[in-house]
């Protein structure tokens, strides 16, 4: 067995090693399984490590032995968020409601990754049904930040960010409805990309808020993020919101807009200092930095916390204890519904279902939901206007570094504010990426967010390279 240093591994290095026979896929798999065995009990990042990982590896090695040339993702160890379906495997969305649910088909992104010969390590912890910003809302325990286990990894894709940061997977998939890839990526010091809405198929992703959800990659560096994104992007007839990906024109020295009025309040002092340093670095690299105004951005969070619960309450009505998932007997059919949902859902999920049902109810739909949809259209128009002046909008990813476990558990409004910079990209349907940009004085990662017009992912990653700092342990 060749010893593999997974902390120095990238997709291209893994591919080169397989081609040169420096190591085998089994060597890679055993190295990651060894790390998982050593760290996952403390971090609680994986809900399940697949029992057939070594069998998968051996089958791939057999193909190499038979002379097959490995493609880029051949044997790449990947972790999958627990709300993305893999046929024949459990997918619980970190909820008691679906604790024993076994997927009957592959999500489109999984089909694509199987076609690319990826190695599936396991399913990662998350906030229940993707509702949360800390991965404290999982029915199966809190995930801990690998940089400080007293702190949250962010959410809802906290497990996916943690496994990449802690070298328990080379790359991972998450889902992002209001920042659920980017915020944990920032807290854990990795790269997280929310693609353009519709660019990546949502078929096989458990729906939370269908007009906002998007699957995206988590990785240690920009290059790996790009490779994984290109593997999963593309139009899909199984998703009615899917659109052909038409990458925007690549630009060399782009104009970057800083919405200072919007981001100046509520920023942690160290976050602000780090952000300003990265803006200066971009200036030194030849980018033109201009001040912009996004007056409607401050309404995005309020808009989001009406639209998202409304759509979530509708989507989660399917978990009725009749067709699949958890079932508890009550008095009559309605009693069954009540008993099942009361037992199956956690506190945050119940809170959002109640809120969503309220804003959709007679007498309140016009006052809340339809106004939020109108504001969403105005925010889209505002970004379209701004992107005629600048190529990219840059903000901190989050107003603070990772907070302590339990610190915001009894204050949902404070928790929701962690999404203040990430939510607008989902509301507008535009791509956004979080880039690691260094450490705070107490050893916690910083992240900067870049947003661009639809299909500008390549330009976001290009600028991200200029400010990227590899800060993983």
DSSP 8: G
CB 95 within 8 A of CB 130: no
In terms of Cα–Cα distance, which of 423, 318, 427 is closest to 381? Answer: 427
Contact 189, 147 (CB under 8 A): yes
The active-site residue out of 160, 180, 186, 456 is 180
**Which is catalytic among the residues 39, 81, 194, 408?**
81
In terms of Cα–Cα distance, which of 146, 122, 169, 123 is closest to 28?
169
Based on the residue annotation, tell me whether 81 is a catalytic residue of this protein. Answer: yes
Based on DSSP, count helices (H) and strands (E) in the chain, helices before strands: 16, 11
Omega within 30 of 0 (cis) for the link into 85: no
Catalytic-labelled residue, pool 92, 156, 165, 203: 156
Instruction: Note if 203 is an active site residue.
Output: no
Contact 438, 448 (CB under 8 A): no
* DSSP single-letter state for residue 36: H
Instruction: For residue 191, give both structure tokens.
Output: 């790269």
Which residue's structure tokens are 């070594």? 54
Interatomic CA distance for residues 143 and 181, integer angstroms:
15
**Cross-strand pairs, 77:** 119
> Is 175 an active-site residue?
no
Q: What is the DSSP letter of 365?
A: I
Q: What SS3 state is found at 159?
A: helix
Give the distance between the most distant pair of CA atoms in the chain. Answer: 69
Phi, psi for 406 (deg, rounded to 5): 90, -10
d(CA 169, CA 472): 13
**What backbone torsions phi and psi does residue 65 show, to the nearest 5 degrees?**
-65, -30
> In whole angstroms, what is the distance from residue 375 CA to residue 372 CA?
5
Complete DSSP assignment for 304-354: HHHHHHHHHHHHGGG--SSSSS-----SHHHHHHHHHHHHHS-HHHHHHHH
Q: Could you list the active site residues?
A: 81, 156, 180
């Amino acid at each position: 067995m060749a010893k593999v240093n997974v902390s120095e591994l990238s997709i291209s290095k893994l591919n080169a090693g397989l081609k040169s026979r420096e190591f085998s896929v089994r060597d890679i798999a055993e190295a990651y399984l060894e790390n998982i065995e050593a760290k996952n009990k403390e971090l609680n990042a994986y809900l399940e490590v697949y029992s057939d990982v070594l069998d998968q590896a051996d089958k791939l090695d057999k193909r190499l032995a038979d002379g097959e040339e490995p493609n880029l993702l051949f044997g790449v160890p990947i972790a999958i968020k627990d709300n993305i379906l893999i046929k024949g495997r459990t997918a619980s969305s970190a909820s008691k409601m679906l604790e024993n649910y076994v997927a009957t088909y592959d999500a489109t992104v999984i089909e694509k990754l199987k076609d690319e010969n990826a190695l599936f390590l396991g399913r990662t912890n998350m906030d229940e049904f993707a509702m949360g910003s800390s991965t404290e809302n999982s029915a199966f325990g809190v995930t801990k930040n690998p940089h400080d286990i007293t702190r949250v990894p962010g959410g809802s894709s906290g497990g996916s960010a943690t496994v990449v940061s802690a070298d328990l997977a080379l790359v991972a998939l998450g889902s992002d409805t209001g920042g659920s890839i980017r915020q944990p990526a920032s807290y854990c010091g990795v790269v997280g990309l929310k693609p353009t809405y519709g660019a990546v198929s949502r078929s096989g992703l458990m729906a939370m808020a269908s007009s906002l959800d998007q699957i995206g990659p988590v990785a240690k560096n920009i290059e790996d993020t790009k490779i994984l994104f290109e593997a999963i992007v593309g139009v899909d007839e199984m998703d009615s919101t899917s659109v052909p990906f038409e990458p925007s024109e690549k630009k060399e020295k782009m104009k970057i807009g800083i919405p200072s009025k919007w981001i100046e309040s509520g920023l942690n002092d160290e976050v602000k200092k780090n952000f300003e340093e990265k803006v200066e670095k971009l200036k030194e690299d030849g980018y033109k930095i201009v001040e912009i105004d996004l007056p409607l951005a401050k309404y995005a969070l309020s808009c989001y916390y009406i639209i998202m619960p409304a759509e979530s309450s509708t989507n989660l009505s399917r978990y009725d204890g009749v067709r699949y998932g958890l079932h508890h007997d009550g008095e009559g059919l309605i009693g069954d519904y009540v008993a099942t949902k009361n037992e199956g859902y956690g506190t945050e999920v119940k809170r959002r279902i109640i809120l969503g049902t309220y804003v959709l109810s007679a007498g309140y739909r016009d006052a809340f939901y339809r106004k939020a949809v109108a504001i969403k259209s105005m925010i889209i128009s505002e970004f379209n206007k701004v992107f005629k002046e600048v190529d990219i909008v840059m903000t901190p990813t989050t107003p603070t570094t990772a907070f302590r476990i339990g610190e915001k558990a009894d204050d949902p409004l404070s928790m929701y504010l962690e999404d203040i910079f990430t939510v607008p990209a989902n509301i507008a349907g535009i791509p956004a990426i979080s880039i690691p940009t260094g450490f705070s004085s107490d050893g916690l990662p910083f992240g900067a967010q870049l947003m661009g017009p639809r299909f500008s992912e390549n330009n976001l990653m290009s600028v991200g390279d200029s400010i990227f700092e590899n800060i993983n342990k």
